Amino acid sequence: MVKKQNKGSNNLHEIAQFSLFVSSYLPLFLLLIVRQISVNSEFLNWAGFSWEGLKIFGLKFGLSAVLIFLSAFGAFGYWKTLTNIEEVAKNGNPVTITDVKNKNSESIGYIATYLIPFLFQSFDGWYECVSIIFLLLIIYRIYINSSLLLINPLLSFRFGIYEIEYTTKNGKKRNGLIISRDKSLQDDCKVKLYEIGHKLYFATNNN
């Protein structure tokens, strides 16, 4: 799920980007699914197939059905993407970190800005359901073209998120945002960086 760009840099495939985006919203999706089903539990009665029944299902549980599908897709894509990245990242470029700043707290800001506001919305009508999907599409376009790609609450459980300055083998100084399994990364550490976006990297130990 990593593709090659024209200028020789790597970037995540669109499916991988979408999977990471969906995975960042999995906690919210699960809460919304539970909320919609519990609020409309009185409509969970099987009465056969009918046009009226389908309309009620779409109105009362349509959003949950979409979110369940997206959650399953996102969870699988998240696992597959990280598995692939960790495998190819072993061939990353060796560098020496000269300055490192922990950015794990950015996940808290992401939750407060992009997740919590949706919890207080009502989803009792078509307008509300379509609105949230429309807003998520806008956020998605912003997400895949920014450092938000790595500011993911699920990623922060498994990886450390850092803003670093580093020196390449030929002595050039550069900077970027990385994720690493090492949650106590220090200055002067030697790592391998595998580019997954513009100044976005996956870091592995340079053993």
pLDDT, one tens digit per residue, over 106-130 is: 777 777 776 677 766 666 667 777 8
In a domain, 2, yes or no: no
Q: Is residue 123 part of a domain?
A: yes
More confident residue, 3 or 164: 164
pTM of the model: 0.77
Residue 9 scores a pLDDT above 50? no
Number of domains in the chain: 1
Whole-number Å distance between alpha carbons of 127 and 95: 51
Q: Considering the domain boundaries, does residue 3 fall inside one?
A: no
Mean pLDDT (whole number) for 70-87: 93
> How many whole angstroms separate alpha carbon 81 and alpha carbon 83?
5
Q: Is residue 195 part of a domain?
A: yes
CA 1 from centroid of its chain's CA atoms: 14
User: 139, 87 in Cβ contact below 8 A?
Assistant: no
Retrieve residue 174's tokens: 């550069």
Check residue 135 and give its pLDDT: 83
pLDDT of residue 184: 83
Q: Mean per-residue pLDDT for 94-110?
A: 85
Q: Which residues pair with 180 in a beta bridge?
A: 160, 203
The answer to whether residue 89 sits within a structural domain is: yes
Residue 22 belongs to some domain of the structure: yes
pLDDT tier at 98 (50, 70, 90 boundaries)?
very high
5 lies in a domain?
Answer: no
